[in-house]
Amino acid sequence: MFEVLQNDTLAPNVHRMVIRAPRIAKARQPGQFVIVHPEADGERIPLTIGDADPQAGTITLFIQAVGASTLKIVSTPVGGSLRDVAGPLGKPTEIENWGRVACVGGGLGTAVLYPLAKALAKAGNEVTTIIGGRAKPYIILAEELAACSTELLIATEDGSMGRQGFVTHVLQELIDDPDRRPHAVFAIGPVPMMRAVAEVTRPPGIKTIVSLNPIMIDGTGMCGGCRVKVGEETKFACVDGPEFDGHLVDFGLLMDRLTMYRDSEAKLMADLPEELRDKIIKVKR
Amino acid sequence: MKKTLTPKERMAIERVKMPEQDPRHRIGNFEEVNQGLTEEQAIREAQRCLLCKNRPCVAGCPVRVRIPEFLAALAEGNLPEAARILLADNTLPAVCGRVCPQETQCEQVCVRAAKGAPVAVGYLERFVADWALTHPDKVHKEDRPEPTGKKVAIVGSGPAGLTMAGELARKGHAVTLFEALHETGGVLRYGIPEFRLPKHIVDTEVARLQDLGVEIECNVVVGKTVTLAELREEFDAVFVGNGAGLPVMLNIDGENLKGVYSANEYLTRVNLMAAWRNDHPTPIIRGKRVAVIGGGNTAMDAVRTSKRLGADRSIIVYRRTEAEMPARIEEIHHAKEEGIEFILLAAPLEILGNETGWVKGLRCQRMELGEPDASGRCRPVAIEGETFELEVDVVVNAIGTRANPLLTATAPDLKLNKWGNIETDEHGATNLAGVFAGGDIVRGGATVILAMGDGKSAATAIDAFLKQKG
């Protein structure tokens, strides 16, 4: 059992949870994830490790409740525990000194971006971080990211925080400015956002790394359910990724495969108690 | 009780038939197909054993169960003694009694096979093991041996690892089993379906190991959570039995369509994650017409599972003929009884999709048998121009698995063969001192009992290594 030591709400239905997992805390590197199996009869959910403290033996997870299982996880109170947490899984981010990099985060992807931005800054990069969301309440970790970035830019769809628009608009301006143009871009967020970022960086040929979160079970390469097409090759996101060259990823296929269980998910949602269901639907639109 | 039977009397007894669930009923449930023998049936079957001098059955068993001894005790109705012998030789008898291919092992070499039917060793093993599970108070309690103070790490809690754990614990070594998934059992848990191996059997066999003092830690992915090097520092010896958990892909068009599964994923969803139960959240696409590609036990498990999940047509597509199928005869027979269709001498060419990205068909190539290949089986050769299409909505790829590189990728000193399997000597020793390996990570895709045989023989080698280490 993995004890929950902290559970904060960062944005509507977005939680930051600190969990006791000494072995994982010791082994973990930025870019890696865990599989959380909250209870005996639950699903196995892949979640990126946001941070880790090897001394304290803890890891930090950022979780957005988008369905029955993630709701179960975020509803675990401090002092409660998650039945299974396995990891760290996936390949760590290849951290190198690119000189100037842009880190682009959307929605919960911002949380996944955070350890990466920190590691890139530590490696000597000049980090420009661009984060976006629907509106101000959905902008998370702005302070933390500002602390490790040379510059933090925010875009919201309704203009309630930062500039109005999408992260891609901000990124385009950055690229167009020879003094601020990044040598590499790290984009993590909803699939359409990552695809849009890859399209912005493709013409100028800027190396772009994206982090994929397809449907997964074991996270060890055993089932192949998480396969994604990268260039001409089929890759398993759990062991070959989760980070890939954004210019080679077949985003259309990824989005399509993510819909494979839409019917079952809708049924699970329908079976939830009404007040919980409302909670999720309000956030998801 | 009857006094000793004469050989003639023994020869006169006909081989027992395993009571089975009616095929028409069983395709609607996940309960066990084989129902097990009654005590009366079991004793009578045991009396068929001639107690011959050469005992070929023992040599035919990868874990060397003293078959004639336990059968003799059973024939006399002495179940506690039969159980004592069986449990001492086999860590997982209730599993082996269900999934071992006895027809190519102990039963194949049984002297009675020469003239008629061999003794049903598998059924009797299952009977005695099940009796032991339900009569724990009557089974000989094993004394916990004197602790040796030596610590052994076992990577993977599948058949090889569980056997190893039992063997070493009985020798007094402190054993820790590391399992990557959230439940123990490896392929016994995620691979073999409930209707062939009920999961409560695995639970009970694992609990017996815990009674022997075996420590189990789930959610440890060796190679990721800890490395082999770290285990070597912490333990006196390490056994790697992490299986061949990496599906071989078909590498044909349409493989990434929705509705295409590897057998590993399909079976893991159903078995480990209990997708077959309506009260579980695990989703699975319950196809109406399901094609399973392959001819092994995994293919049979997947295709029979699809039937139970409600498919109207469940089809095996295999590139050779039935004679070359690696699946157990019993599984093929059960599959046929359940209305599984067999399309033989056919190889997949392309999975066809509809406009929304779902599987709608499988295009196949007709094959014929050519010259024997390296495996001794005739090589399937395409008949040019002869293709056909099957209308299906789910395709399961059960062509095989390879070594999973997660552990070995972080153990650069460990010697591998060109397929990524760990190289060992005949006792399971790798090139690294104190590191042993067995099961599918060494053999590639093989069977439960061969993995258990590896676990057992490597346990002897590890015990010797630890003694020598002093």
Binding-face residues of A in 210-269 toward B, CB within 8 A:
217-225, 227, 229, 234, 239, 253, 256-257, 259-261, 264-265, 268
Contact B262 A89 (CB under 8 A): no
**How many domains does chain B contain in total?**
3
Q: Check for a shared fold between A2-89 and A100-211.
A: no
User: Three-state secondary structure along B220-286?
Assistant: CCECCCECHHHHHHHCCEEEECCCCCEECCCCCECCCCECEEEHHHHHHHHCCCCCCCCCCCCCCCC
Give B-chain residues touching A24 at CB under 8 angstroms. 225
Q: Which of A143, A100, A144 is nearest to A120 (CA)?
A: A100
Nearest residue, CB atoms, B221 vs list A42, A87, A253:
A87
Average pLDDT estimate for B66-94: 95
Contact B405 A221 (CB under 8 A): yes
Sequence-distant (≥ 6) Cβ neighbours of residue A49 within 8 angstroms: A24, A28, A32, A33, A34, A59, A60, A61, A87, A88, A115
Q: What is the C-alpha to C-alpha distance for residues B317 and B364, in angstroms, rounded to an integer?
A: 9
B460 in a domain, yes or no?
yes
Written as one string, the DSSP assignment of A178-191 is TTT--SEEEEESSH
* Mutation target among A223, A260, A263 for the B interface, most CBs of B within 10 A: A223
For the segment B326-384, what is each residue's pLDDT rounded down to a tens digit? 999 999 999 999 999 999 999 999 999 999 999 999 999 999 999 888 878 889 999 99
Q: Residue A232: count other Cβ atoms within 10 Å of its Cβ.
A: 7
Written as one string, the DSSP assignment of B165-197 is HHHHHHTT-EEEEE-SSSSS-THHHHTS-TTTS
Backbone angles phi, psi at B365, to 5 degrees: -105, 130
For residue B33, what are the domain limits? 7-138
Co-location of B341 and B413 in the same domain: no
Co-location of B281 and B373 in the same domain: yes
Res. B1: pLDDT tops 60 = no
Q: Which of B299, B304, B324, B162 is nearest to B243 (CA)?
A: B162
Backbone angles phi, psi at B242, to 5 degrees: -90, 10
Quote the radius of gyration of chain A (alpha carbons, Å): 18
B459 in a domain, yes or no?
yes
B449 in a domain, yes or no?
yes
Beta bridge mates, B397: B262, B293
Q: What is the C-alpha to C-alpha distance for residues A258 and A261, in angstroms, rounded to an integer?
A: 7
**In A191-282, at which residue ranges do the beta strands (DSSP E only) sit?**
207-211, 227-230, 233-236, 243-245
Q: Domain locations in chain A?
A: 2-89, 100-211
Q: What is the C-alpha to C-alpha distance for residues B70 and B431, in angstroms, rounded to an integer?
A: 38
Query: Is residue A27 less than 8 Å (CB to CB) from chain B?
Result: yes
Contact B273 A217 (CB under 8 A): yes
Q: What is the pLDDT along chain A (285 residues), one digit of tens a residue?
A: 999 999 999 888 889 999 999 999 999 999 999 999 998 878 899 999 999 999 999 999 999 888 888 888 999 999 999 999 999 999 999 899 999 999 999 988 898 899 999 999 999 999 999 999 899 988 989 999 999 999 999 999 999 999 999 999 999 999 999 999 999 999 999 999 999 999 999 999 999 999 998 999 999 999 999 999 999 999 999 999 999 999 999 999 999 999 999 888 788 777 777 776 766 655 544
Nearest residue, CB atoms, A220 vs list B265, B274, B406:
B406
Average pLDDT estimate for B184-193: 95
Mean pLDDT across chain B, nearest whole number?
94
Sequence-distant (≥ 6) Cβ neighbours of residue A96 within 8 angstroms: A123
ipTM above 0.90 for this complex:
yes
The CATH number for B44's domain is 1.10.1060.10
Co-location of B434 and B409 in the same domain: yes
Contact A217 B268 (CB under 8 A): yes
Backbone angles phi, psi at B75, to 5 degrees: -60, -30
What confidence score (pLDDT) does residue B79 get? 97
The pLDDT > 90 percentage for chain B reads 86
Cβ-contact A152, A177 below 8 angstroms: no
- CATH number of this structure's domain A100-211: 3.40.50.80
Co-location of B252 and B394 in the same domain: yes
B146 in a domain, yes or no?
no
How many Cβ pairs closer than 8 A exist between chain A and B?
A: 103
Co-location of B353 and B435 in the same domain: no
Q: pLDDT class for B445, splitting at 50, 70, 90?
A: confident
Out of B110, B138, B166, pick the residue that ends a domain: B138
Nearest residue, CB atoms, B281 vs list A23, A223, A268:
A268
Res. B187: pLDDT tops 60 = yes
DSSP state of B141: P
Give A-chain residues touching B199 at CB under 8 angstroms. none
In CATH, A2-89 is 2.40.30.10: yes
Q: Are strands A163-164 and A151-156 parallel, antiparallel or unpaired?
A: parallel
The CATH number for B211's domain is 3.50.50.60
Angle at B256 between CA B254 and CA B261, to 5 degrees: 105
The size of chain A, in residues, is: 285
Co-location of B229 and B356 in the same domain: no
> pLDDT higher for B405 or B342?
B342
Q: Among all chains, which residue has been given the structure tokens 């004679």?
A: B323
B194 in a domain, yes or no?
yes
Co-location of B337 and B394 in the same domain: yes
For the segment A200-244, what is each residue's pLDDT rounded down to a tens digit? 999 999 999 999 989 999 999 999 999 999 999 999 999 999 999
Q: Which of A21, A80, A32, A29 is nearest to A56 (CA)?
A: A21
Query: Is residue A41 less than 8 Å (CB to CB) from chain B?
Result: yes
Q: What is this structure's pTM?
A: 0.93
Question: Biggest alpha carbon distance in chain A?
Answer: 54
For the segment B99-114, what is each residue's pLDDT rounded down to a tens digit? 888 988 999 999 999 8
B145 in a domain, yes or no?
no
Out of B377, B400, B423, pick the residue that ends a domain: B400
